[in-house]
């Protein structure tokens, strides 16, 4: 069982922070499909401090727990203040992002930039840990370094050791370098070495295996520092392969769950040894239901106009499950309002008769 401080996850996977995607609507859909824990997209500390209308969108639905609010910043005082705001808003965990490779973010000395400034990174981490009450776990998201140089590796370990000393509950490591962005594979061997070095009680099985065979991994127990892994998780098997090959306590699902909340239900099935359930893709009726539900949640959160724009990119991802994916994606891209969304769903995922049938079942 994975844990984050005093918080126990009943399954070893969770939804990653995904800027532009992992809003409350996406998170609620994921949870309804078995996701035990979610991370928000990275929020700028100054955005929270300045308050205003935007704060409405970071208020939490009672169903949206446990959740980590992820922060990005460069000034210890500001990020500490923002961390307190998130705690007051009811976030269960505060996660600090020192991973983001986006140029605009790094130019302002935030995100992945901090990986090559270990002293600044530590100052930020220290300020957050001090600002947050001890019962609220703090966690961190990192990449494996700025680039492939020996200096970058030294900086990573300097920061990582401090993460543990400061009392951080967990670290999610995406073993691509900042320079690498998303090009090339995520280096899982880095994760395996990290687990061996920092949490050696989690012994890694020699043979890559499925969920039910993940035998010799010994969890550290509540309050023990945990390493979570990220990178190249596109199908349910990848989740358990990463655990088996690296020994991470839990896996962060990112691009693999955009337009694919079913990956969480499949992962639950695989964790229970149900290989047939794990291999079952969503039926057209299930896709229809999620498309309508996700759109409605998005409207509630953002209003119809913004939701219609936001949902287009989700529509493209969802369309991959449909036999006519190209036509479906094209239709979703042209949507401007909820009746047009509904019309696309009715055209490709069954119309009025299916509604009646669903109502009878409900």
Ligand X SMILES: Cc1cc2nc3c(=O)[nH]c(=O)nc-3n(C[C@H](O)[C@H](O)[C@H](O)COP(=O)(O)O)c2cc1C
Binding interface with ligand X (CB under 6 A)? 16-20, 41-42, 70, 97, 99, 141, 174, 186, 230-233, 252, 254-256
Nearer residue to ligand X within complex by CB, 261 or 344: 261
Cβ 114 to ligand X shortest distance, Å: 13
Cβ 206 to ligand X shortest distance, Å: 25
Nearer residue to ligand X within complex by CB, 128 or 345: 128
Please list, residue by residue across 349-362, b when 16 or more beta carbons sit within 10 angstroms of its beta carbon and e when fewer do.
Answer: bbeeebeeeeeeee
Cβ 250 to ligand X shortest distance, Å: 13
Cβ 353 to ligand X shortest distance, Å: 37
Q: What is the DSSP string of 35-53?
A: ---EEPPPEEHHHHHH-SG
Among the listed residues 2, 115, 148, the one whose alpha carbon sits nearest the alpha carbon of residue 66: 2
Nearer residue to ligand X within complex by CB, 66 or 351: 66
Beta pairing class for 13-15 and 170-174: unpaired
Cβ 283 to ligand X shortest distance, Å: 25
Is the Cβ–Cβ distance between 302 and 355 less than 8 Å?
Answer: no
Among the listed residues 277, 251, 274, 241, the one whose alpha carbon sits nearest the alpha carbon of residue 262: 277
Nearer residue to ligand X within complex by CB, 174 or 268: 174
Between helices 304-318 and 325-333, what is the axis angle to 10°? 170
248 token code pair: 């991470």
Cβ 358 to ligand X shortest distance, Å: 32
Q: What is the DSSP string of 197-254?
A: HH-TTSPPPSS---GGG-TT-----TT--EEEEES---SHHHHHHHHHHH--SEEEE-
Nearer residue to ligand X within complex by CB, 31 or 288: 31
Nearer residue to ligand X within complex by CB, 83 or 344: 83
User: Cα separation of 251 and 199, whole Å?
Assistant: 16
Nearer residue to ligand X within complex by CB, 196 or 317: 317
Cβ 99 to ligand X shortest distance, Å: 6
Among the listed residues 55, 47, 91, the one whose alpha carbon sits nearest the alpha carbon of residue 73: 47
Nearer residue to ligand X within complex by CB, 3 or 70: 70
User: Cα separation of 163 and 115, whole Å?
Assistant: 13
Nearer residue to ligand X within complex by CB, 141 or 162: 141
User: Nearest-CB residue to ligand X?
Assistant: 17
Cβ 135 to ligand X shortest distance, Å: 23
Cβ 184 to ligand X shortest distance, Å: 11
Instruction: Give the C-alpha distances (Å, rounded to integers) separating 278 from 2, 139, 207, 262, 271.
Output: 21, 30, 21, 9, 9
User: Cα separation of 198 and 223, whole Å?
Assistant: 15
């Amino acid at each position: 069982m994975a844990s984050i401080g005093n918080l126990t996850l009943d399954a070893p996977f969770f939804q990653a922070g995904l800027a532009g995607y992992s809003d409350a609507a996406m998170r609620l859909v994921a949870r309804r499909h078995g996701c035990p824990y979610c991370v928000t997209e990275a929020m700028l500390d100054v955005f929270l401090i300045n308050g205003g209308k935007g704060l409405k969108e970071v208020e939490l639905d009672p169903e949206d727990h446990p959740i980590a609010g992820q922060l990005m910043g460069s000034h210890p005082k500001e990020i500490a203040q923002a961390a307190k705001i998130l705690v007051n808003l009811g976030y269960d965990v505060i996660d600090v992002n020192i991973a983001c490779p986006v140029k605009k973010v790094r130019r302002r000395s935030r995100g992945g930039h901090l990986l090559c400034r270990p002293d600044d990174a530590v100052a930020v981490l220290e300020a957050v840990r001090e600002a947050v009450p001890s019962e609220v776990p703090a966690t961190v998201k990192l990449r494996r370094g700025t680039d492939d140089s020996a200096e970058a590796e030294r900086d990573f370990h300097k920061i990582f050791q401090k993460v543990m000393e400061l009392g951080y509950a967990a670290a999610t490591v995406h073993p691509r370098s900042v320079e690498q962005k998303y090009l090339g594979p995520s280096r899982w061997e880095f994760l395996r070495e990290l687990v061996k070095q920092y949490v050696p009680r989690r012994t890694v099985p020699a043979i890559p295996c499925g969920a039910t065979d993940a035998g010799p991994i010994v969890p550290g127990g509540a309050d023990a520092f945990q390493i979570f892994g990220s990178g190249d998780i596109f199908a349910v098997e990848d989740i358990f392969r990463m655990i088996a090959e690296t020994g991470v306590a839990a896996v962060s699902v990112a691009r693999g769950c955009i337009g694919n909340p079913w990956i969480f239900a499949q992962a639950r099935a695989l964790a229970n040894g149900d290989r047939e359930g794990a291999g079952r893709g969503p039926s057209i009726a299930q896709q229809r239901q999620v498309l309508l539900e996700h759109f409605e949640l998005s409207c509630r959160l953002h209003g119809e106009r913004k939701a219609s724009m936001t949902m287009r990119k989700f529509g493209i991802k969802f369309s991959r499950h449909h036999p006519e994916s190209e036509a479906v994606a094209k239709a979703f891209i042209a949507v401007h309002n909820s009746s047009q969304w509904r019309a696309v769903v009715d055209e490709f995922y069954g119309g009025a008769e299916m509604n009646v049938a669903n109502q009878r079942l409900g």
